[in-house]
């Protein structure tokens, strides 16, 4: 059987287990091709959400401090507006950025800086006048 793996390090059993749990899996190449709307449509209107960013799926030109870099991954300019939109429309009850390997980061610590900026985008949009946390 011919099989072409998509970007990232997830193996088929991991993806199948995530789907069985109820997760929606969107490989980066699908996001690049179809945009973020299909992802956002899976979030029930007005629901509370927990956001996890897997740093391995971010483009290594912007987040090099990971164990499994994914050239062609998601860029900051793609994910930041999506995170802000989620935070304006849904109560973000938690967020994490996982799979960061500081010993692989560049000397300027850009991976940690990027992770911090992603978190600040969510916090800022959540508590902005139009943010979901203001409408509790």
Residue 35 forms part of a structural domain = no
pLDDT of residue 4: 33
Residue 108 forms part of a structural domain = yes
User: How many angstroms from the chain centroid is the CA of residue 65?
Assistant: 16
Residue 10 forms part of a structural domain = no
Residue 120 forms part of a structural domain = yes
Reported as a single tens digit per residue, the pLDDT across 1-34 is 332 334 556 788 988 998 999 888 888 788 889 9
Residue 78 forms part of a structural domain = yes
Residue 118 forms part of a structural domain = yes
Provide the domain limits for residue 63: 40-131
Domain count, the chain: 1
Residue 23 forms part of a structural domain = no
Q: State which H helix or E strand residue 79 sits in.
A: helix 76-89
pLDDT of residue 37: 94
Q: Which carries the bigger pLDDT value, residue 83 or residue 136?
A: 83
Predicted TM-score (pTM) of this structure: 0.84
Reported as a single tens digit per residue, the pLDDT across 84-124 is 999 999 999 999 999 999 999 999 999 999 999 999 999 99
Nearest to 92 by CA among 110, 73, 112, 118: 118
Residue 79 forms part of a structural domain = yes
Secondary-structure percent of the chain, ordered helix, strand, coil, rounded to 5: 45, 15, 40
């Amino acid at each position: 059987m011919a099989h072409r793996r998509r970007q990232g390090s997830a193996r088929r059993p991991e993806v199948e287990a995530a789907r069985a749990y109820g997760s929606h899996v969107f490989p980066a190449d699908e996001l690049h091709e179809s945009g973020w709307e299909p992802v956002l449509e899976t979030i029930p209107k007005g629901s509370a959400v927990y956001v996890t960013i897997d740093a391995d799926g971010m483009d290594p030109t912007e987040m090099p401090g990971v164990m499994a870099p994914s050239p062609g991954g998601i860029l900051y300019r793609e994910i930041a507006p999506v995170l802000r939109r989620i935070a304006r429309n849904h109560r973000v009850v938690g967020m994490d950025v996982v799979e960061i390997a500081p010993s692989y980061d560049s000397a300027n610590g850009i991976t940690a800086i990027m992770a911090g900026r992603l978190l600040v985008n969510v916090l800022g949009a959540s508590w902005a006048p139009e943010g979901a946390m203001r409408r509790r």
